[in-house]
Amino acid sequence: MDQETWKLVLAYVAEKERAGGRNLEVELLEQSLKDWAGNDPDRQDQLEQALSLWEDTAAMPEDDSWQESFAGIKHQLEPAETGKIKRLKWWTIASAAAVIGALVFFVFTNQKQQSVSESPITWITEKAGAGKIIKVLLPDSSEIWLNAGSSISFPKNLNHAAIRTVKLNGEAFFKVKRDPAHPFVVRSQNIQTKVLGTSFNIRAWKNDGPEVTVLTGKVAVSKDSAGKQSVAVHLLPNQKAIYDLKSDRLSCQNVEDAQASIDWSIGKMHFDKTPMEEVFQTISRKYAVKIISDQSFDNCELTAKFNNVSIKEVLRTLELTFDIHYTINKQTIYIKGGKCN
């Protein structure tokens, strides 16, 4: 991101704080940023990171080097003759000062990484096939366990990035290497999760409401809509955030044992009043099979625990619970009959 765009970002967030919301100038600045980002994924990522940084990670550098950069940017943001961006009363807006501090810090970090950021970002994608769980070691030494049918994408230069951003499809358990100067961000379906260093599980299957469960440390979870984040929900150990697709709401819940959220990583399956459609999907991913049923189980739920057992033992439980009949032909399971109890 070049210096002129950084000045535009700085003007946008400060004017939004000053106005206490939206006004004509905010809308004009926002449109200018959208025009700059266009349909370029890299620019969209840079803009998203810049706008979200000040919300959760505002911090000032320890040395005084930011002051000179800030003075130069502030001076250039006051073109009295053009009238396009009016003079901003920085010293009267305490909240804007935090924004400025965060962005100047980000600009400063970005300038240090200039040789890296100017190069096109090369993304690496790792996938866990059906019936497989794999471990991925990121360039920054963070560890990820991918559930069957999941994928994770990350920049090749992740360990040099100002913000360590990865993209998840499916489910994964993260052990993030602590680095306060470089926040770790996971983008998954409709949510964004920010951490410094912690362990947590993200469940974000397509068409299902994403969930984030924290085992250790602290994370901030926010809705991610077209690059715009909502106010973050902060989670501590044994808490989880749930995003409801229908109501478009993000909520926080306490859990008895967060460790249960990663039972899948050691081959276990845990269902607690789980809709049968989701049960079938979980079985399909774990055992690399296709399930075909001659009727709908829309109103059926399952509560059961399976400790790394065979597919036949799982089907035997379903047979007794729902009075189904099944046959297995290679990697396809045919289910006939059945009723909810």
CA atoms of 287 and 54, how far apart (whole Å):
44
Query: Domain residues of the chain, as ranges?
Result: 3-117, 123-259, 267-337
pLDDT digits (tens, 9 = 90+) for 196-217: 778 999 999 988 889 999 999 9
**CA-to-CA distance for 108 and 66, rounded, in angstroms?**
7
- How far apart CA 143 and CA 100 sit, in angstroms, is 33
Q: For residue 116, is pLDDT > 50? A: no
Fold agreement between 123-259 and 267-337: no
**Dist. CA 286–CA 308, nearest whole Å:** 10
Stated pTM of the model: 0.65
Percentage of the chain beyond pLDDT 70 is: 74
315 sits in the region (left: phi over 0; alpha: psi -120 to 50; else beta) called alpha
Residues near 213 by beta carbon (within 8 Å), at least 6 away in sequence: 200, 201, 203, 239, 240, 255, 258, 261
Q: What pLDDT digit, counting tens, does each position of 276-315 carry?
A: 999 999 999 999 999 999 888 888 999 999 998 999 999 9
Pick the CATH number of 123-259 from 3.40.190.10, 2.60.120.1440, 3.40.640.10, 2.40.50.140: 2.60.120.1440
Fold for 267-337, please state it.
Phage tail protein beta-alpha-beta fold (3.55.50)
Give the C-alpha separation, 232 to 55, whole Å.
Answer: 8
Structural contact between residues 182 and 159, judged by C-beta atoms closer than 8 angstroms: no
Q: What is the pLDDT of residue 242?
A: 94
d(CA 37, CA 190): 20
